Chains A and B, each alone.
Chain A
């Protein structure tokens, strides 16, 4: 079974631009979560989508948004990029059937975003 895939793997943007990251979950998984990983703040939860609806949300500003499609693939968008948005963005999927993030999360390799 193929794992979680994320595209692109690397991205360079400039301040003020926007960016869209993509995540394809494991086949059959309906929950997709997004995380930001930085050396200073560590791993922080952004949001979780299930059945095309945002089910849980972390403490990030509205510049960070996401969506999920009917095939469970998810995209994350960051508008008006800031230098501090430079990070590794990780996506994770799970079956989602329990309705809880306690389910084992399967992580992708991440997209490394550099904002100049």
Chain B
């Protein structure tokens, strides 16, 4: 079945450090890919998404590129801030037929000043 594998952490970085969170997927067909973020005390919210190969999603300085050849959707940010401390989830939706949103286990990021 469809699955998402991501770095689980937890990860602690200093402010202005470079961030990469790896995400790879297994799916039939051409899934849409997402990064969701859960800030402390808040619900999940969509960070960015990509719906086809080579698409790049971007938001709030974060970027991820849909790489079909490596079945990956790694999240990157050039300079993290304390406010980026949160749990990050990679997810996919397989198109067509009976759908479900499949999440990775999530990675907790803490950014220290």
Q: Name the B residues within 8 Å of A90 (CB-CB).
A: 43-44
B93-A102 in contact (CB<8A): yes
Q: Name the B residues within 8 Å of A109 (CB-CB).
A: 42-43
- Chain B residue at minimal CB-CB distance from A4: B43
Q: Name the A residues within 8 Å of B32 (CB-CB).
A: 102
- Given contacts A42-B103, A56-B100, A100-B99, whether A105 and B46 have CB atoms under 8 Å apart is yes
Q: Name the B residues within 8 Å of A3 (CB-CB).
A: 43
Q: Give B29 Cβ to nearest chain A Cβ, in Å.
A: 13
Q: How many residues of B contact A (CB 8 A)?
A: 22
A101-B99 in contact (CB<8A): yes
B43-A110 in contact (CB<8A): yes
Decide if the interface of chain A is mainly helix, strand, loop or mixed.
strand
B51-A102 in contact (CB<8A): yes
* Residue B45 lies at the interface, judged by CB distance under 8 Å to chain A: yes
Q: How many residues of A contact B (CB 8 A)?
A: 24
- Chain A residue at minimal CB-CB distance from B89: A43
- Chain B residue at minimal CB-CB distance from A110: B43
B43-A101 in contact (CB<8A): no
Q: Mark B75-113, 1 if CB is under 8 A from A, else 0.
A: 000000000000001010101001111111110000000
Residue from A33, A42, A110 within 8 A of B104 (CB atoms): A42
A101-B101 in contact (CB<8A): yes
Which residues in window 86-101 of A have CB below 8 A to B?
A: 90, 92, 100-101
* Residue A49 lies at the interface, judged by CB distance under 8 Å to chain B: no
Question: What's the Cα separation between A43 and B104 when bound, in Å?
Answer: 7
Question: What's the Cα separation between A56 and B42 when bound, in Å?
Answer: 26
A-B contact pairs, 11 of them (CB 8 A): A33-B101, A43-B103, A56-B98, A100-B95, A101-B99, A102-B32, A102-B51, A104-B46, A107-B44, A108-B43, A110-B43
Residues of chain B touching chain A, judged by Cβ–Cβ distance below 8 Å, are: 32, 36, 42-46, 49, 51, 89, 91, 93, 95, 98-106
